[in-house]
Amino acid sequence: MSGSAPIAKSGFWGWLRRPRSLWAGATLVGAAFAVVGLLVLDALRRPRTVMLALDPLEAERTAGASEYPIEDLWERARTIGVSAVYLEPQRLSSWIARGEVLHLSKTESEKWAAAGLVSPGSPLRSNALWVRDRELFEHLLLASRAWGFGISTQSFGGVYVLNLPDGVEPGSLPLGYDPAAMRSARRMGLTPVIGAAAPAEMQLLLMMASPKVSVSGPAVFWLGPAFQFPAAPGGKYAPGTAGKEVQPLPAASEQAVLEAVALRGRTALAFSPPQGWRGYGSWGAWEGTALSAAHVRVREGLAPLWRRVLGGGARLVVAHLAPELGVERNLDGLRATATALRGRGMSLELNPGPGRLRGPASWIGAFLRYGVAAVLAVFGVLVSIRRGLQFLRKEALARRWPEADPIPEIAGALAATVLGSIIAASAAYALLAFELWRLGLIGVPWAVWTTLLPFALGLLALYGDEMKEWPARWLRPVTYRGLATLLFLLCFSCFLVFPRAVLQRFGLASLLDWQRSLPEPLWWLGLRWREVLVGYPCLTIGLWLQLRNIRDRMDKADSLGQAEPKSSARDPRFWLFLGLFAPTGIVRIFGYARIPYHTLVWQTLLGLVLGGGLALAGIWAWEMFRDLRGQRA
């Protein structure tokens, strides 16, 4: 040991490169790859299931338009893979339009009184709902508790009356969900997926105690992203009867609804992350089946399906039928959707189970995994760029294919950068492949950290030596060229970060419609356009300029017989800085852990061929032009 330099002076990497330390270095690298590989394999083994649902009203209209038995339609849909019925909240206007509820408005009441049909002392009031069916009356009475105002009831001659306050428009009042549709869904062996768009609708579901309208049993409550709970204590429902005043139920609190759902042994709560999230409360503490919904039309093709299921992480696929197409064409489209989902390794056998509250230990583990994944992603981006630049100094490819120079060196450096990014992204994917993260229930911005930090560190690494001169540059006289350049860079940066907002500001939002018209094999390009259209081309150009600088310095050093000069006429830093969009895009999309791993790798390689191949073709054409011009000179 006396003859060797101390490890502290030579550094860890210097010690690692010594012959005696090769085995130790190989062991460390092998262990790191083994850990990443095991994590990725564990993530791949986890089942990815989706629930395929149909709208019962659309199914009835489709069957009715073709005079096809509705029972046969549902049976064939079950055979294809449909396992749920998506029930949307009904409005009182639809019941009035069907004639099941008669609305006596103030105008009609005055006409009846003027015609002598109603005596002046009659107890009948205007703005009243008349119902003959007892079950429907109970349903309306139950729904009225969630309307937020008190009502009075009457009954005479077999007719039940609900008197609404003056000024209330009954058409928009929620009625909850059709109990017949729920019973029909269970009879067919399908799971009712009950979509609640407002707290009143969710509260209405929880109050349903009558066996005729009960939602007890296998069901899913799905709360959409716009769902908001009011901060008010919850109440309990007591069944009312005709001839009494019915007061509104206090608004249900978030915790009260969760506990009420948890008491239903065979009912699951599913939700999409609410907008304006108020923190890590009981929403994030819910353990069970959490679904984000994707509404697709069977005649739209597969590209919208992949954008919402793979790109958005949706696990509830509501397939909307087109009655004008007929039964067979709708079933063909539904069959194509189910086959495509199974072809991506997804199972259509999602069976939501009863939910339960999750303890705080799971949150600690989730944030630890997020922290480790973020560190690996950020430093993986920088290390991959560094490995790509180091690859340019290898001359083996230039000696093997001199006629293709400099394309092999640039392509090899680009591949080394992408490979390093995929390794770091794979580790992030393996660490973050759990439900709380995939569904966006951990309120930490993955895209911000994995993009902002690499760009900030890259700016320091590329322009750190010149930052001391920046204050002096601001004191120089302003020129039109400098001002135009600064304005262009600011607008271009804003466009890359906030493209939709910038285009909407200038009235060009329609330019983003190209993402919706992409063919099925390229559906993902709308999610990774910065990586493919900006990152790979700019990174390729930056590597090319850096390679030319390296060779120029080597030529000058050989001709002058001195050390390599540090100055160069070509500055690749701007292109390398924009090229960070390539590795950051890789770790960003991998880190969401929504798209299957093999699909992400395939998309990355295809994006490399599209973006990097286009830039390499341009470089090859430029080099050919330079050679031809040199030969003519």
Q: 217 with 302, same domain?
A: yes
In a domain, 38, yes or no: no
In a domain, 67, yes or no: yes
Q: Within 10 Å of residue 621's Cβ, how many Cβ atoms?
A: 10
Q: Whole-angstrom Cα distance, residue 170 to residue 59? A: 27
CATH number at residue 353: 3.20.20
Structural domain count, the chain = 3
Q: ∠ CA 263-268-270 to the nearest 5 degrees?
A: 130
pLDDT of residue 286: 42
Residues in the chain: 633
Domain endpoint, select from 357, 377, 408: 357
Q: 167 with 289, same domain?
A: no
Q: ∠ CA 463-538-454 to the nearest 5 degrees?
A: 50
Q: 595 with 625, same domain?
A: yes
Buried b (16+ CB within 10 A) or exposed e, 28-63: eeeeeeeebeebbeebeeeebebbbbbbbbbbeebb
For residue 356, give the 3-state DSSP assignment.
strand
Q: 375 with 422, same domain?
A: yes
Q: 233 with 141, same domain?
A: no
pLDDT of residue 261: 47
pLDDT of residue 357: 41
Q: 201 with 313, same domain?
A: yes
In a domain, 506, yes or no: no
Q: 81 with 64, same domain?
A: yes
Secondary structure element (H or E) that encloses residue 618, with its range: helix 613-632
Report in angstroms the alpha-carbon separations of 586 from 128, 313, 433, 536: 61, 17, 16, 11
Q: 548 with 570, same domain?
A: yes
pLDDT of residue 34: 62
Secondary structure element (H or E) that encloses residue 260, with its range: helix 254-263
pLDDT along the chain (633 residues), means of 10: 41 47 54 62 64 87 88 89 81 76 71 61 68 79 67 76 74 68 76 65 48 46 48 36 43 47 43 38 42 77 80 79 90 90 78 47 73 88 89 74 79 92 89 70 73 87 77 73 78 78 74 72 85 93 90 69 52 90 92 81 92 90 79 65
Q: Whole-angstrom Cα distance, residue 3 to residue 368? A: 44
Task: Say if CB 199 and CB 221 are below 8 A apart.
Answer: no
pLDDT of residue 495: 80
* CB burial of residue 70 (10 Å; 0-12, 13-18, 19+): middle
Q: 334 with 377, same domain?
A: no
**What range does the domain containing 601 cover?**
362-464+539-632
Question: Among 91, 50, 520, 74, which Cα is nearest to 321's?
Answer: 74
In a domain, 493, yes or no: no
In a domain, 473, yes or no: no
Report in angstroms the alpha-carbon separations of 358 from 286, 540, 616: 6, 47, 52
Which residues, at least 6 apart from 324, have a Cβ–Cβ distance to it below 8 Å?
Answer: 65
In the chain, helix, strand, coil percent, each to 5?
55, 10, 35
pLDDT of residue 604: 93
Q: 143 with 187, same domain?
A: no
Q: Whole-angstrom Cα distance, residue 589 to residue 548? A: 32
Secondary structure element (H or E) that encloses residue 34, with its range: helix 22-45
Domain endpoint, select from 159, 176, 193: 176
Which residues, at least 6 apart from 421, have a Cβ–Cβ distance to it below 8 Å?
Answer: 380, 381, 384, 582, 583, 586, 587
Domain endpoint, select from 340, 357, 374: 357
Q: 390 with 459, same domain?
A: yes
In a domain, 76, yes or no: yes
In a domain, 2, yes or no: no
In a domain, 437, yes or no: yes
Q: 134 with 70, same domain?
A: no
